[in-house]
Amino acid sequence: MALLTVSGLRKDFGGLRAISDLSFELMPGEILGLIGPNGAGKSTVFNLITGFIPPSAGEILFEGKSILNLKPSAVVKKGIARTFQVARPFRNLSVLENVVLPALLHEPSRPRAEAKARALLERMQLAAKSGTNAADLSLSEQKRLEIARTLATDPKILFLDEPMGGLNPSEVEDACRLVQRIRQDGITIILVEHHMKAIMAISDRLIVLHHGVKIAEGIPQDVVRNRDVIAAYLGKRAA
């Protein structure tokens, strides 16, 4: 059974239809890539599912139950965590505190939450920076901190919004390995990414959005040969 079922999802911003009639399923343990040209509505899909903006129509089922109209904090408690496209750490708090906060969600005892946070920072190779202010981290460190922060909430599904944006090639490789390791821990992943090589390599399945409409879905090798997809990215003549 699907872990997450999205059906007939629609979002209108005033007269602009950002997402129209989007349906898809997310299977337990898979890595699903969400791609599309700029402005296709990928981040909007994330915001709709994680409760940051309310949909105009449609249904979202998580483990068979509707999570429609829940607050973002309630969605997180159910087990769906997200990162932001531009990393948004608690800038004036220490790196450790950034991860302790989400750990407190399921672990009210502070020492145990702290132990959990330290273990996660170790895994993200941020242990040496625990005492630093989050604002002083490099971009790639901030991205890893953001992932550590979401993992601390014990998610079943992780929504990664451009985890590789702005990283250099060797950092992208590290990020790919990291995403795969997270999946091995039993966490289902859906990610938005512009780095085509990376997303082709790690996704089991791709969904392509264009102007808020799903134009293709399938395994990466098939999707990139799809005429509609090539037309969306490169123009009709190229297809």
Partner 1 sequence: MTRILAAAGIALLLVAPLLTGNTFYQHLMIMVLFSTLLGTSWNLLGGFAGQVSFGHAAFLGVGAYTTMLFYLKLNLSPWLGMLAGGGLGALFALPIGLICFRLRGPYFSLATLAVAEIVRLVALNWEQLTNGPVGLLITTLPQISIAGRAIDWESKIPFYYLVATLAVLAMTLIYAVSRSRFGAYLAAVREDIDSAEAVGIDSVRVRVLALALSAFVAGVAGGFYALYFRYIDPDAVFAISLSVEMVFIAVVGGLATTAGPIVGAVVLVSVAEVFRERFAAGHLIFYGLFMMLVIRYLPEGIWGRLRLLFRFAQG
**Residue numbers of the site for partner 1 (CB under 8 A)?**
50-52, 71-74, 76-77, 81-82, 84, 88-93, 97, 100-102, 104-105, 108, 110, 149-150, 152-153
CA distance 212 to 147: 27
DSSP secondary structure code for residue 3 in this structure = S
Positive/negative CA dihedral, 38, 39, 45, 51: positive
Q: How far is the CB of 151 from partner 1 (least distance, A)?
A: 11
Tell me how crowded residue 165 is: count the other CB atoms within 10 A of its CB: 17
Q: In this complex, which beta carbon is closest to partner 1, that of residue 42 or of residue 82?
A: 82
DSSP symbols for 129-193: GTTSBGGGS-HHHHHHHHHHHHHTT--SEEEEE-TTTT--HHHHHHHHHHHHHHHHTT-EEEEE-
CB of 127 to partner 1, least distance (A): 20
What are the DSSP E strand ranges found in the chain? Answer: 4-13, 16-26, 31-35, 57-62, 65-66, 80-82, 157-161, 188-192, 205-210, 213-218
Name the residue among 82, 78, 105 with its Cα closest to residue 3: 78
> Distance between CA 27 and CA 121 in Å, rounded?
28
**From the CB of 230, what's the least distance to partner 1, in Å?**
35
Indicate the angle between helix axes 139-151 and 110-123, nearest 10 degrees: 130
Q: How far is the CB of 80 from partner 1 (least distance, A)?
A: 10
CB of 1 to partner 1, least distance (A): 25
Of 33 and 155, the one with the shorter C-beta distance to partner 1 is 155
Nearer Cβ to partner 1, position 92 or 221? 92
Q: How far is the CB of 137 from partner 1 (least distance, A)?
A: 14
Q: Are 191 and 32 in contact (CB under 8 A)?
A: yes
Select 99 or 232, whichever has its Cβ closest to partner 1.
99
Is the Cβ of residue 107 or residue 208 nearer to partner 1 in the bound state?
107
Nearest distance in Å: CB 204, partner 1: 25
Whichever of 52 and 233 has its CB closer to partner 1, that residue is 52
Contact 42, 36 (CB under 8 A): yes
Judged by CB, which is closer to partner 1: 106, or 177? Answer: 106
